[in-house]
Every structure is written in C-alpha cells, then in structure tokens.
Amino acid sequence: MSYTAPIADIRFALDACAGLWRVRETGAFPDLDESLLEAILEGVGALSGDVLAPLNASGDREGVRFSNGRVFAPTGFAAAYSQFVEAGWQGMTADVAHGGQGMPRGVALAAHETIHSANMAFGLAPMLTLGAIEALEAHGSMEQKAIYLPKLVSGVWSGTMNLTEPQAGSDVGALQTRAVSAGDGSYRITGQKIFITWGDHDLAENIVHLVLARLPDAPAGSRGVSLFLVPKFLPTDAGGVGQANAVRCLGVERKMGIHGSPTCTMGYEEATGWLIGGENEGLAMMFTMMNSARINVALQGVAVAEAAYQKTIAYAHERLQGRGEGAPAKGASPIAMHADVRRMLLTMRALIQAGRAICYAAGVEADIATHAQDDETRRAARARADLLVPIAKAWCTDRGVEVASLGVQVHGGMGFVEDGGAAQFYRDARIAPIYEGTNGIQAIDLIGRKVAGDGGAAMRALILEARDVAHRARDSGRPRLARIGVRLSAAADTMDEATTWLLAVSDSARRDALAGADTYLRLAGDLTAAMLTARGLLQSDVATAEAQETAALFFAETILALAPSRLAALTLGADVLFDTDLGDAVV
C-alpha cells in the first residue's frame, strides 16, 4: 500500500477549522510553534508512509498467530513498533514529568491520524496505551504513576482496556469479574474478558491491563464497579519486568477486518492487581479511557477513509475505460473523467474533510477545557468537547464506512476482489461504528446526557455559532462561500427546531426521542462539520481557501442541503417501529 500524509489538508482542519492556536492563549504549550508542528507532522508522516503502510496489506493477509498461549503480531510489526517507540510518538500528550512531550491533543490526533491511515491494525496498539496513560494520569496513585507511567509513555510497556465480558456486552453493570483483597494492598482478580484489543502480543516488554471488576460487597449494577491495574508481568522493585502474573490469553478472534490486530479473550485466575482510585468508582474513571478512545476511534473513521481515498483516486486516474466527458474522440480515457466517478471521488474527499474537522475540534476544545485560565472559558470548552465526543465517534465512523464503500464501488469488480486492495479498507473500517460504544449508544448519549442533560445549552451554543458563521459566509463577497452560508443557515434552523422537539419529548415521550436519536446525531454531525469547515474557509488565506472550497461547497450542496428533510424522520416517533411485527419473541 502507498500512503502519503496529507499535511496540507491536516493543517487546514487543525489550524483553521479547529482553531489549534487558541491553545497557546492558555499558556500551557509554550514550546509549540509552526516549525515544531510541521516537524512533527512530517516526521510521523514519514514513519507512517515509509514503515507502517507497507505492512498494512501483508499484515492483513498474514494476521496474528496464537501459539501455546502467546500471541505474535504479523511479520514486521515488532520492528515497526520499535521505530515508533524510539521516535517518542507514544507520549506526545503525556506530562513531561513522566517522559512525555506535553503536546496538545489536537497535535497528537493529527499525528496519529497518519498512523491509522497507514495501518489501522497497528495503530490500535498505541491508541489503547494512550487511554491507559490518561486514566493513570487522572486517577492513579503517586506510586502507580511512578512505576507505570514512564514505561507506558515511552511505549516500552503497552496498555489495554478490559470491559466486555461474554454475558455483558455494552451493559457494563452486568459484569461478573471479581476482585478480592489480598490483605497487603493488592487484590486477586478472577474472571474472563472478551474482545480485548492487543490484549497479548510480542511488541512490548509488558502489558498493563486496566480491568473493571466487582468487589465482594459492591452494590449491584454499574454503581458497584471498580477499576484495577493488572500487569502481565509484575514489576520489580527496580521498575523492570518480574514474574508472570496469573493473566493469560485464552484465544484470539477470527474477524472481518483488522487482521493484524489481536482481539483477545483474556483469563484472570486470581491475578494480582491494584485498585485505581476509590472502591466502586471504576466506571467513572474508565470513562477517561473511553472518551479518549472514542475520539481516537472517530479519527480511525477519517483515517481509513483517507487511505481508501488515496488508493481510489490513484486507481481512477490509471484505469482506462470508455470516454469520459471532455476526453479525446479516440481511445479510452481514465475513469476519473466520468461524471459519476467524479461524484464519488468528491463525496469521499468532502466527507474526509468534514470528519477531520470534527475530530480535531474535539481535541482542541478538550485542551482548552483543561488549560484555559478562566472558569467561564473552561466551562464552555468542556461543554463543547463533551457534546462533540458522541457526534465525532458516530458520525465520523459511519462516514468512514461510507467512504470505504465508495472506494470499492469506484474500483468496480476489482474492488470486490481482495487482490485489488480496496476491500481491506472497507473490512477494517466496519469495526469502528461498533467498538467503544456502538453508534446507537452514542446517539442515545447525545440526546440524553449531552442535550437533555443541560437543557440543550451546549447544543444551542453550537447552533448560535453556526448561525454566526453562516451570516459571515453569506456576507463574505465570495460566491461559493456565500452558497455554503445559505445551506448552513437552513441547517441551523432545522437543528434548532429538532432540539426544541427533542427537549419537549425527552421526559414525556422518551421512546419517541430514542426513535429519532440516530437521525438527530446525523443532523448534528452534518451541521457541525459544515460550520467548522466554513469557519476554516473564512479564516484561511486565499491559496488555502481555494484548495479546500470545492469539497466544502460539494458537502453543503449534496449533504447539508438534506438537513431540512431530516426533520420529518427525526420527529416520526416510535409507533412505526413498535407497531410493526418484526417477529419479536417474549422471553
């Protein structure tokens, strides 16, 4: 596979759309400047293009190997991981006190996008470690931080997140893994976890599992869940790798995609672990990892879409068939000259541009929420960041699958043949709407916790900003941007009406609200993406704006233009769903 980091597109989304440089106003990132950002993107882009991308197809074909209770990554992954660690990419956002670089989340997202584009299966390993780092930084004891963070931040040790159990998928409150005090400050963890990404492998010296388990006297449901740190190998007093812990991989899944990433069933047999934070506070702390993971999974949707687009547009210019519009009278022309193929290619590009802006904006707002100097700025940024998490995760991953599917379509018959290469992107992308909380759960979270939870305040603030951007776009004197402004204004009005309806039915007719949740999230994603890209165009120089404007206009006229029509589906209610006989069985 060939991949080139799209640094100009990344910079547009990061600088202009997401407003990266606002983080400097917080005073938290004094070393960040244009030259450092460019060096980071070029450096990680080179690793992604030169080292990781060539392993993507081979890793997919070979897959992982499970032998005698051990998991081995595909050929070349271990060497690539060593290069990743040596370059220091794992600890980009981590505290410098633990060996990190202290960079903003937006910068790290941009860097990791290139990794996921080049090789999504590989990128899952550092992604989970990043979540473990953030959870320990936020909730770990001083001793836990001292022992584990330097190793995790360097990448010498990796991390995982252990939630799911065979009888408890998304219902974390139903988990049965138990933890019993050993009387010496440690606990004995017993149970089984499934679908654990990179739960075992041969890349890192040690694997640090963050495990949800239940204490003997814990309350029922999610209120009785605690979080434990359970390493594969117990650390020595000197901070090295000691004896093996009583945790092992019981098997790996045979999956539709991401074949180069081991998805493990993990068995804990009175394994030694340590409580993180307080008893029965595990779920709240695990959300530190989950929110980080959800933004990174959103980014996977964008990243795999970018990889699919790069392969597809190259194929469309190489494949000769028929005579496209404006082609010479004799001989076949590249299929890229056919109107329908160009429609698909531009749809792919527009969706990637839109999703990238949403992901980076979520990262920037999270940094401002943490580091801004005044309470009001922090509060507003936190509300915006929290609102963007479910939108980003669901909208970007759904769109990632759509882009990968269009890539298969442009390839035609070769897209359906594995040797053509387009199918892998579709297979890999398809997991992203499922893990880290299915997209249906994200929609429920959006309408419940994030919209009804604050009486619609955060969403109203987003709508207000969208209207302001629309007004400025219409008055910009730039014809294409003015057309975007018209569509954005209409979409903002629709979002406002949809939010009013949602708030009205959230308590009195919750089933109706749930029936419209997916449509509401899609509308929110369309509006947010258009607002961010229009804002970026308004703030860009002429050359940058000209390079990005066509895709933004196409998005506005073909996707955002549908916003008013979504209102009918959103407010349809649940009767049509539940009055239909779908063969429901009463258990």
Helical H runs in 159-244?
Answer: none
The Cα 266–Cα 88 span in angstroms is 29
> What region does 251 belong to: left with phi over 0, alpha with psi -120 to 50, or beta?
left
Tokens 């993180």 identify what position?
Answer: 276
Beta-carbon contacts of 562 under 8 Å, excluding residues fewer than 6 positions away, are 526
* Three-class SS state of 197: strand
Residue of 113, 137, 436, 549 marked catalytic: 436
Instruction: Answer yes or no: 546 catalytic.
Output: no
> What region does 412 belong to: left with phi over 0, alpha with psi -120 to 50, or beta?
left
What tokens appear for 496 in the block?
A: 């406002």
Q: Is 507 exposed, middle or buried (0-12, 13-18, 19+ CB in 10 A)?
A: exposed
* Three-class SS state of 241: strand
Instruction: Give me the DSSP letters along 411-423.
Output: HTHHHHSGGGSHH
Q: In this structure, what DSSP letter does residue 180 have?
A: E
- Element (H or E) spanning 271, and its range? strand 263-276
What tokens appear for 407 in the block?
A: 């890539």
Tally Cβ neighbours within 10 Å of residue 568.
9
Backbone angles phi, psi at 44, to 5 degrees: -70, -30
* 81-90 exposure pattern, b = at least 16 Cβ within 10 A, e = fewer: beebbeeebb
Q: Measured in Å, how far apart are the chain's first and last C-alpha atoms? A: 49
Mutual angle of helices 422-429 and 282-318, in 10-degree steps: 160
Q: Which residues are catalytic?
A: 436
